[in-house]
Chain A
Amino acid sequence: MAEGVAIFAEWAEEGLHPVSLELLSEARLLADELEDKVQAYFLAPPDKETQAEILIRHGADEVFYVFHQCFEDFLDDVASHILAKMIRENSPEILLFPATARGQALAPRVAGYLRLGLTAHCIAFEIRKEDRTLVQIRPSFGENVMARIISLTKPQMATVRPGVFSKAKEDPTRTGRIKKIPLSDEEVKSALHIFKKHPRKAPKVDLAQARVVIAGGRGMGTKEFFAKLYELAELLEGAVGATRPVCHLGWISEEHMIGVSGHTISPKLYLGFGISGAIHHLVGIRNPGLIVAVNKDPEAPLMKKADVAVVGDVREILPLLIRRLKELKGESHEA
């Protein structure tokens, strides 16, 4: 019988990947509703047992700590094979993966091996109690609406982007079981051999952590005018974000995309310029403080969602706003 709400717990050099704790908090809520337990699948090198303990203190009841030196590297074929085997043996009811690089490489492989349905980039879940079904919520593919999706196979699998759920709180008194599973060298034979790693030099755009996000959409008109957003971002010490069409137009790189296909942000202040506010974009804005939208169309969905809806032309409003903020800065410098 299927049992348990499971997550794939990803680790990073510095410790557990933060998204692991985000998935744990959601898994805990789902498991409590199902009166079930939370399991974490943790594939890591042999010296990471303290991280397995952290998983317990953040809500896991059982950690399957599968260890081998080879997990210093990420070998897609080995990791997915072993996960598939463990999942077949333990048959959890629900299985959540982070939509990180590793998660996106692994989850579909596991789904393929086990012939399971898989829903990408969910932004919320509900439990349908009568048949213990996981209702997976994400923006619909074609329409500007949210879809409720279910999977007819078990475990019911989904991926979730970093930043969508808040991190589980630590409870030092929590106890659980760590099941240590050593792997033999035979089991970790890979067709892949990683021979060099180049860590990113410049820090990645940190939209997820930004306190202020200045986002621009197609309404900015041109790449040149879009670049004005950097000026505003500098004044407000914020990061620049964008909608998908703008990234595809090449006005800014895809790393700046906000939404179901990009980052999930939780800023104190979000300023959106020339953005219609399609659901695909809006789901990327979680727990914002203040949302300000500037759009000439007062009926645009972002204008409806905004706390402050500025009706006007970005070509007028943005330069004025930049000028006014510069003046203010000047004043405070003089003061």
Chain B
Amino acid sequence: MTTAVRAADVGLIACRICGLVMQRVPVTSLPTACARCAALLQARLPRSGERTLAWLIAGVILYIPSNVLPVMYVSGVGGGEESTIIAGVLSFWRAGSWDIAVLIFTASVAVPATKFLTLGTLLWTVHSGTSWARRQRTALYRLVEFIGYWSMLDVVVVALTAALLKFKALGTAEPRLGIVFFCGVVVTTMMAAFSFDPRRIWDTPGDRA
């Protein structure tokens, strides 16, 4: 680890988009663009902390109605019923298909909650400038990045069920308002993960301007 040299320390910068490594030149009043893909060169994403926090707060706010409001309405011969995500998980559990119940619970409830906790922890530790467990925290960020879109699972299930069940009196399914908030949670948490700059984990407070 002692041999590791950081690009910013030796005057090099890598393009965030295409990865081309370039030598930094003394800063003029102009921003510099990547020589290969023309993307704006930034050593760190500007205001990544604030942006991540903003998306994260938006996600937490949307998370509440997405779990409280019903996501789907199913009607059959015996009448109709609206169900929330948790109610759907419980009905699978009671019906004996525990594997599907665990899958939906993980994708819809546990994954967003994990993202809130993890990104919150990362933001907090970066803010405090600690050098604690940097490698592990970077791995944690990769986890958040990886699990990002799996929460869309329930949206897909609701949409497919609604597209299939249209038998008038015999059985219909319709999406309900909760799914709109739920979709919002997925998008905002993904945006939060992309706004975060993991290189901040490795910055010591003195490095920052």
Pairing of A with B: no
User: A: which residues have CB within 8 A of B?
Assistant: none
